Amino acid sequence: MTVSTASPAIAQEFVAFAVQSGVLRFGEFKTKAGRLSPYFFNAGLFDDGAKLGRLAGFYADSLLASGLQFDMIFGPAYKGITLAAAVSVELARRGHNKPFAYNRKEAKDHGEGGTLVGAPVKGRVLIIDDVISAGTSVRESIAMIQAAGATPCAVAIALDRQEKAAEQGVDMPWSAVQYVSDQLKLSVCAIAGLSDLLQYLQTASNSEVASYSTAVQAYRDRYGV
């Protein structure tokens, strides 16, 4: 399967947008794997209409450039719900109308019931999320999609951290994105990756932002794939 990112120009524009929006921050942050990372990406801070709309545009750019073929979009709760809706709207605006669905964390026992909401889950399904940290959310989404009788075909994310996955405190020789691509057999489309972030830092005109280039490079040298 394939792992693809948007064009270098789109990736750089996206990283700049994420920094300006306060979504991509620099300092010292503890990851789920227990590592101290010099940067932190929180897609939950794309929190108004203008920012969410522009984010959806970047997803649409990368998806259309990738050539991925899919019939509908699935957004895993919770961040994926907003992303699936926003990207579906943006793709429709560009002439590619795709239905979308998402899941509830807990099954509803009244009304329409069940855990899935939105369009019927069928055909080739694109899973959309912000990042892939361990692949857990993707595996759960695959199970729900297959249980509905559909076929998960790809995952779209905003940022590929391009770093080694960790299992029980041990660094693996592959990243979470590579695991999804190689082991779960899904294509992965990312707007940008850690390499794009590094390039942005190395050419940033803002000296404060540029000063984190050394720390991010050191982090990549230690944990990168």
Say whether domain 3-223 belongs to CATH 3.40.50.2020.
yes
**Per-residue pLDDT, 105:** 77
CA angle 124, 127, 128 (to 5 degrees): 140
pLDDT tens profile 71-80: 999 999 989 9
Whole-prediction pTM value?
0.92
Phi-psi region at 176: left, alpha or beta (left = phi > 0; alpha = psi -120 to 50): alpha
**106-159: pLDDT as tens digits:** 765 555 557 899 999 999 999 999 999 877 889 999 999 999 999 999 999 999
Asked whether residue 3 carries a pLDDT value surpassing 90, the answer given is no
Instruction: Specify the pLDDT at position 168.
Output: 74
Tell me the sheet residues that pair with 149: none
> Per-residue confidence at 2, pLDDT binned at 50, 70, 90?
low
Cβ proximity of 122 and 153 under 8 Å: no
How would you classify residue 135: left for phi > 0, otherwise alpha for psi between -120 and 50, otherwise beta?
left
Rounded CA separation 211/73 (Å): 39
pLDDT at 171: 85
- 2 vs 32, residue with greater confidence: 32
pLDDT for res 34: 86
What amino acid is encoded at 153 in this protein?
C
Measuring CA to CA, which residue among 117, 155, 150 is closest to residue 3? 155
Give 16-75 pLDDT, tens digit per residue. 999 999 999 999 999 888 899 999 999 999 999 999 999 999 999 999 999 999 999 999
pLDDT at 107: 63
- List the catalytic residues: 108, 110
Residue pLDDT, tens place only, 166-224: 887 788 889 999 999 999 999 999 999 999 999 999 999 888 899 999 999 999 999 99
Region 97-109: mean pLDDT is 84
What pLDDT score does 109 carry? 55
